[in-house]
Amino acid sequence: MVVGASHAGAQLVTSLRQEGWSGEIVLVGDESVLPYQRPPLSKAYLAGKCSLTELAIRSQDFYLKQGIECLDACVEEIDRSARQVLLSTGDRLSYDALALCTGARPRRLRAAGTQLDGVHYLRRSSDVKRIREHAIPGRRAVIVGGGYIGLETAASLRALGLDVTVLEAADRVLERVTAPEVSAFFTRVHQHEGVDVRTSASVEALVGDHRVREAVLASGELVAADLVIIGVGIEPTTELAEAAGLAVDDGILIDAHARSSDPTIVAAGDCASQDMPRYGRRIRLESVPSAVEQAKVAAATICGKDKEVTAPPWFWSDQYDLKLQIAGLNTGYDDIVLSGDPTADRDFTCYYLRKGELIAADCVNRPRDFMTTKRMLGQGTAVDMATLKAKVAV
């Protein structure tokens, strides 16, 4: 049984059949649609460039042909001793192996007024549907949070003709995940596209009668808003695992084989935290490629095969005509090398180094740099500062 119709869940049931699992497979999800791709929600789907059907990870025919039962329900309890789960429908289902792919949910903004009409979070297709109803050209949209979701949403709403303001509490956008040079680049691009980007702008309250009218900043400034979208991060959905007594610390703890602290239960995706020796710590990766990789390993583990999570993490973000591709994690970087000029160009690469060795790269409209870096990190190839600077100089 797989709990969570996420990217990880959809991949896991597919991989189970590929690995030779011949028994029953049940995929339990709490949305009334088949598993779909989530990254396009803040991009092409919000901008109206594709339908939800086009975002389906697999067709209904696939699940039928593979003998995979998709249930629209919530799992309310795991009884590990009886190897059963209790569904919101009241049914109890037995399992031989259990996979938790429960994903994550939006982190809530700690401010008054978030319950007002016109205030939204963006995580599910139903969220986008509600946002679209109010995304009318000429209206004023305020986005709280200058991370990837916030900036992607800003680009999509600009494409729809809205006036957009981004409010970021930190000193710069993308502060947690990029170098200052990359942050400055995206600020420049969004301002060029007509977005009002404000940093060090902490939201204290959202005000209005029944519908949101303004955002109140800590400085006392008021920012007019017909529509507010909050994108201040996500947090793993681990309550089910915690209640079942599994080890949890900012995610369900898994080993290299995707096993939780209960060897009969695996986990994958945004809800899972794995040890990553390359970076010297446990990390919960909010990444579709990582969710897919973990799911493949989890399926192999269920089928008694010896596979490990080894692929380096990678991510991407689409904004306007820009494709940012990120290879590796820049955690702990102490130096950067730039290829291209982010102050003037719309394509460049920012390489991150730690103690003189390459650990990650942000590649903007540079797919070749991305593939090269991803390959080197995957092979464990040590690239020092001198080698990298020689490469960039070519």
Question: Tens digits of per-residue pLDDT, 225-273?
Answer: 999 999 999 999 999 999 999 999 999 999 999 999 999 999 999 999 9
DSSP E strand boundaries for 14-74: 25-29, 68-72
Identify whether 141 is part of a domain: yes
Question: Tens digits of per-residue pLDDT, 118-166?
Answer: 999 999 999 999 999 999 999 999 999 999 999 999 999 999 999 999 9
Q: In the 8-state DSSP scheme, what is residue 109?
A: P
Do 167 and 217 contact (CB within 8 A), yes or no? yes
Pair 199, 275 in one domain:
no
Pair 260, 171 in one domain:
no
Spatial CA neighbour of 265 closest among 235, 245, 287: 245
Pair 132, 281 in one domain:
no
Tell me the pLDDT of the chain averaged across its residues.
94
Question: Tens digits of per-residue pLDDT, 62-78?
Answer: 999 999 999 999 999 99
Residue that terminates a domain, selected from 230, 248, 271 = 230
Question: Tens digits of per-residue pLDDT, 6-46?
Answer: 999 999 999 999 999 999 999 999 998 999 999 999 999 99
Which CATH number characterizes residue 161's domain?
3.50.50.60
Pair 205, 112 in one domain:
yes
Residue 201: domain span: 108-230
Question: Tens digits of per-residue pLDDT, 313-351?
Answer: 999 999 999 999 999 999 889 999 999 999 999 999 999
Identify whether 312 is part of a domain: no
65-92 average pLDDT score:
96
Identify whether 79 is part of a domain: yes
CA separation (Å) from 179 to 58, 88, 337, 341, 349? 37, 45, 11, 14, 11
Amino acid occupying residue 203: V
Question: Tens digits of per-residue pLDDT, 276-320?
Answer: 887 778 999 999 999 999 999 999 999 999 999 888 899 999 999
pTM (predicted TM-score)? 0.93
Bridge pairing between strands 212-217 and 203-208? antiparallel
Which CATH number characterizes residue 370's domain?
3.30.390.30
Identify whether 214 is part of a domain: yes
pLDDT higher than threshold 90 for residue 108: yes
| SS3 assignment for 263-320 | CCEEECCCCEEEEEHHHCEEECCCCHHHHHHHHHHHHHHHCCCCCCCCCCCEEEEEEC
- Token code pair at residue 100: 């938790």
Pair 215, 118 in one domain:
yes
Pair 226, 239 in one domain:
no
Pair 97, 240 in one domain:
yes
Pair 217, 120 in one domain:
yes
Position 392 confidence tier, pLDDT thresholds 50, 70, 90: low
Identify whether 308 is part of a domain: no
Identify whether 309 is part of a domain: no
Q: Is 88 left (phi over 0), alpha (psi -120 to 50) or beta?
A: alpha
Amino acid occupying residue 103: G
Residue that terminates a domain, selected from 249, 269, 302 = 302
Residue that terminates a domain, selected from 272, 302, 332 = 302
Pair 140, 163 in one domain:
yes
Tally of CB atoms within 10 A around 155:
25
Pair 192, 123 in one domain:
yes
Q: Considering its fold, how many domains does the chain have in total?
A: 3
CA 165/CA 115 separation, integer angstroms: 20
Q: Which helix (H) or strand (E) holds 91?
A: none
Pair 334, 371 in one domain:
yes
114-121 average pLDDT score:
97
Pair 276, 198 in one domain:
no
pLDDT at 384: 66
Identify whether 315 is part of a domain: no
pLDDT at 312: 83
